[in-house]
Amino acid sequence: MNRITERMNALKASSRKAFVAYLVSGDPRPSVTLEAMHELVRQGVDIIELGIPFSDPMAEGEVIQLGHERALSHNVSLTSSMALVKQFREQNTQTPVILMGYANPIERKGYETFADSASDAGVDGVLTVDLPPEEARDLNEELQRVGLHNIFLLAPTTTPARIHEIVSMASGFVYYVSLKGVTGAGHLDLNSVKQKLGEIRKMTDLPLCVGFGIKDGASAKAVSEHGDGAVVGSVFVDKMGKLADKSDEEIIKAVGEIAANIRSGLDN
């Protein structure tokens, strides 16, 4: 069974919420990421979303844009990021890893080659921000062929008809974008999240994770009350940027502390 499904089932059985943490691969430098992933797991992260740096990250707020730029300055790529996942798997065979990024690096590699390499590296799911269902069919087929989940986004602006169409293509879990805006935005509206999640819940049994604008344990807990988990990214990436000139150990420790706080917020 795919690790994402396995983890989601286990969380549900123990009535816990999923903590999904996002890091940019190779941010602020490649030597940090592998240990940071292990540290996130030690501090209670359930699923790691590894951001694949892209020159034109259209959906990201400034914080994550800068993370992409830091990683690109070290020539981090989709290929090197999959190699990193393979390394991660040498020590961790349990924690699901999702690659999150933009279509062009995947197009460049070719869908079939990409699906084979990702599966071989031990990746469990793929989230392509700029590949809505209309354009995702070919990639979807390739991912299904190798048993990887394709994680789709739903937004506050997604109509009921589209929700229906998207959840029928989705697997693993569905990622609800909590607000109209970019990653790291500051205008999360809990009421609208609650209402929309209720609407989505009626149309699918897939787990629902909520992301964008979630900054701490309290907001993570608040959004996950109406869903099955929370995705947190910008606070980690912001810390990476602020501590970029510090030692790897210092950065990894700081990232772990943020994760521990959010985990305890979610579990309270």
Partner 1 sequence: MNDLTSAENIDYSCFPDEHGHFGIYGGRFVSETLISALDELAAIYKKLKDDPGFQAEFDKDMAHYVGRPSPLYHAERWSQEVGGAQIYFKREDLNHTGAHKVNNTIGQALLAKYSGKKRVIAETGAGQHGVASATVATRLGLECEVFMGEEDVRRQSLNVYRMKLLGAKVTAVTSGTRTLKDAMNEAMRDWVTNVDDTFYIIGTVAGPHPYPELVRDFQSIIGREARQQSLNQTGKLPDVLVACVGGGSNAIGLFHPFLNDESVRMVGVEAGGDGVETGRHAAPLNDGVPGVLHGGRTYLMEDENGQIIDTHSISAGLDYPGVGPEHSWLKDLGRVDYVAVTDQEALAAFREVTLVEGIMPALETSHALAYAKKLAKDMPKDQTIVVNLSGRGDKDILTMADLDNITL
Nearer to partner 1, 61 or 217 (CB): 61
Q: Contact region for partner 1 (CB under 8 A) — 11-19, 72-80, 225-233, 249-257?
A: 72-80
Instruction: Check binding of 104 to partner 1 (CB under 8 A).
Output: yes
CB of 79: closest distance to partner 1 in angstroms? 7
C-alpha 149/C-alpha 242 separation (Å) is 33
Q: What would the x/- binding string for partner 1 be over residues 227 to 266, using CB under 8 A?
A: ----------------------------------------
Q: What are the tokens at 53? A: 């740096």
Instruction: Check binding of 177 to partner 1 (CB under 8 A).
Output: yes
With CB under 8 A as the contact rule, the residue among 35, 74, 146, 185 that binds partner 1 is: 185
Nearer to partner 1, 12 or 108 (CB): 108
| CB distance 41 to 48 below 8 Å | yes
Instruction: Check binding of 139 to partner 1 (CB under 8 A).
Output: no
Q: What are the tokens at 222? A: 């608040």
| Phi, psi dihedrals of residue 71, rounded to the nearest 5° | -65, -40
Q: Contact region for partner 1 (CB under 8 A) — 6-14, 26-34, 61-69, 219-227?
A: 61-69
Q: Contact region for partner 1 (CB under 8 A) — 29-37, 86-94, 123-131, 258-266?
A: 123-131
C-alpha 223/C-alpha 228 separation (Å) is 9
With CB under 8 A as the contact rule, the residue among 6, 10, 94, 108 that binds partner 1 is: 108
Instruction: Check binding of 146 to partner 1 (CB under 8 A).
Output: no
Nearer to partner 1, 92 or 181 (CB): 181
Instruction: Check binding of 173 to partner 1 (CB under 8 A).
Output: no
Instruction: Check binding of 54 to partner 1 (CB under 8 A).
Output: yes
Cis amide bond preceding 105, omega within 30: no
With CB under 8 A as the contact rule, the residue among 24, 153, 210, 235 that binds partner 1 is: 153
| CB distance 223 to 178 below 8 Å | yes
Q: Which stretches of the chain bind partner 1, using CB under 8 A?
A: 54-62, 65, 69, 72, 77-79, 102-109, 129-132, 134-135, 152-159, 162, 166, 177, 180-182, 185
